Amino acid sequence: MKLQETLKNIILQGGGTLDKNLQLKTFHTGYMVALKDFEDGYKLDTPIEELDENIRYYQSHVVGHDSLIGLWITNGYIYIDKVVLITSKFRALMVASVNNQYSIWDNKNSIEIKTEEN
C-alpha cells in the first residue's frame, strides 16, 4: 500500500525516482539517464493498483539491484525507465546518446536537458 501512496505523490509532482527497494529517492547532484530498451508507459488513468503491480514486476525482472527506476509524466502517460545516476554532464549526455534518449534530468537544477541529436 505504501508504494501506491508514493506513486500518487510522484504523479502529482510530475515524476520521481525509486531505488531498488521501491523507496522514493531525491538527488541534489548529478544527472539521471534512462537506458535503452528498458522503458514502459501507461496512461495516467491506469488504476494505481495496476501501476503498483507493474512497477513491482519491472523492479524484479528488469531493473535488478544495480539501478534505479525513473518515473516521469508527459502527454497523459506515466513512463517507467531503468535509470542510472551519472555525476558528469558530459558523460551523462554521451550515455543518453548511446541509449537513444531525448534528454537527461539535471538533479541540481530540476530541469530536463535535451541531447544534441533531438
Instruction: Tell me the pLDDT tens digit for each residue of 41-96.
Output: 999 999 999 999 999 888 887 776 667 999 989 889 999 999 999 999 999 999 99
Nearest to 15 by CA among 105, 118, 97, 115: 105
Exposed (0-12), middle (13-18) or buried (19+): which is 90, by Cβ within 10 Å?
exposed
Cell reading at 70: 525513473
Model-level pTM?
0.85
∠ CA 68-95-41 to the nearest 5 degrees? 50
Instruction: Tell me the pLDDT tens digit for each residue of 24-51.
Output: 999 999 999 999 888 889 999 999 999 9
